[in-house]
């Protein structure tokens, strides 16, 4: 167990999430608050490409305490949080809770992979066409897209609902 305990030590946890200090994932010095600072300069590769090579599981182990005390958030992540605060938070329901991390069976994942892929491609194509088309898309254009993709949407909703129901059942049975 001491091996896994290491995963939660601040510097080890940060390196599991961003890549090793030796790989250039962090600036060589900590900031004035003693936090590790992720390096945003990865040459010709994007920060995401760099992370996939050096820390393929991404940011998964950092707790709120570690963000507050040990690791500085990268500028892109700060920008995303700022945008959520400015553009989304005001439109959420009071006392809204985020969707928990759901567990899926292999069969459920196969269904999601199949339908989400085609659905995503169809939505991206519709958006591209909407942007490049000389005419402005209408509400009926969007409704036609939804109608055309109804089966995919229903399957994705069904699988996610099943996983969410299983999550709620597990919570209920653990009390």
DSSP 35-77: -B-B----TTS-HHHHHHHH-TT-S-S--HHHHHHTBPPPHHH
Mean pLDDT across 111-126? 91
Whether the predicted pLDDT of 58 surpasses 70: no
Mean pLDDT across 62-74? 82
Mean pLDDT across 58-76? 78
Per cent of the chain over pLDDT 70 is 97
How far, in Å, CA of 165 to CA of 150, rounded?
22
How high is the pLDDT of residue 53? Answer: 80
Mean pLDDT across 127-136? 87
Contact between 168 and 103 (Cβ < 8 Å): no
Q: Which ranges in the chain belong to alpha helices (H)? A: 2-6, 10-18, 47-54, 64-69, 75-83, 106-132, 139-148, 150-174
Whether the predicted pLDDT of 57 surpasses 70: no
For the beta carbon of residue 153, count every other beta carbon within 10 angstroms. Answer: 14
pTM over the 0.85 mark: no
**Tokens for 107?**
């069969």
**Residue scoring higher pLDDT (17 or 61):** 17
Per cent of the chain over pLDDT 90 is 31
Where b means 16+ CB within 10 Å and e means fewer, 84-98 reads eeeeeeeeeeeeeee
Whether the predicted pLDDT of 72 surpasses 80: yes
**Residue scoring higher pLDDT (63 or 82):** 82
How far, in Å, CA of 87 to CA of 85, rounded?
6
State the average pLDDT for the chain: 86
User: Please, which residues have CB within 8 angstroms of residue 162's CB and are 6 or more apart in sequence?
Assistant: 108
How high is the pLDDT of residue 158? Answer: 97
């Amino acid at each position: 167990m001491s091996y896994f305990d290491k995963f939660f030590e601040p510097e080890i946890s940060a390196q599991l999430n961003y890549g090793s200090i030796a790989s250039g994932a962090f600036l060589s010095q900590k900031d004035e608050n003693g936090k590790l600072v992720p390096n945003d300069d990865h040459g010709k590769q994007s920060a995401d490409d760099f992370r996939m090579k050096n820390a393929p599981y991404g940011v998964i182990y950092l707790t709120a305490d570690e963000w507050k005390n040990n690791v500085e958030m990268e500028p892109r992540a700060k920008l995303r949080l700022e945008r959520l605060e400015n553009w989304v938070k005001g439109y959420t329901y009071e006392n809204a809770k985020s969707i928990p991390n759901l567990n899926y069976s292999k069969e459920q994942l196969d269904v999601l992979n199949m339908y989400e892929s085609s659905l995503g491609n169809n939505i991206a194509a519709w958006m591209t066409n909407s942007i490049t088309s000389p005419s402005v898309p209408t509400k009926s254009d969007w409704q036609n897209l939804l109608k055309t993709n109804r089966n995919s949407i229903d399957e994705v909703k069904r699988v996610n609902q099943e996983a969410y129901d299983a999550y709620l059942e597990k919570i209920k049975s653990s009390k």
